Amino acid sequence: MEEMKIKGLKIYKAIFEGKKNVEIDEIEYPIKKFSSGIKYLDLFGYRFIEQNWRKKSEWGKKAREGHKIMWIIKGRRYIARIMDGEYNNLLKKED
């Protein structure tokens, strides 16, 4: 999971610094935008997506307040959240 954290933080930084691309393993990947303007990147079966500040959720409110939030999703599962540069693994720890 450490590898995901490193890649996630690199993508997070690129998204919130307004970069058009991010380099992962010496390959440049374009950061895309939905019509809503929300930035995202699909990579290795994961979606790295900026929090939509227009959402009426707790997270949308935090984004409106100025927090920088990105989610890492695989399929319909939320894998991790990065908020204000802090990585938080959302997967349950297996005993």
CA distances from 15 to 74, 92, 93 (A): 19, 27, 28
Domain assignment of residue 94, yes or no: no
Task: Summarize the confidence of residues 42-67 as an average pLDDT.
Answer: 96
In-domain check, residue 46: yes
> Domain span at residue 11?
2-89
Q: Is 65 among the domain residues?
A: yes
Report yes or no on whether pTM surpasses 0.85: yes
Average pLDDT rounded to a whole number, residues 44-52: 96
Domain count, the chain: 1
What is the predicted pLDDT for the residue at 95? 44
Asked, for residue 19, whether it belongs to a domain, the answer is yes
Q: Which residues contact 73 (CB under 8 A, 6 or more apart)?
A: 46, 47, 49, 79
Question: With 60 as the cut, is the pLDDT of residue 29 above it?
Answer: yes
User: What pLDDT, on a 0 to 100 scale, did the predictor assign at position 2?
Assistant: 87
In a domain, 95, yes or no: no
- pLDDT score recorded for residue 62: 98
41 is a domain residue: yes
Q: What is the pLDDT at residue 54?
A: 95
Q: What is the pLDDT of residue 93?
A: 66
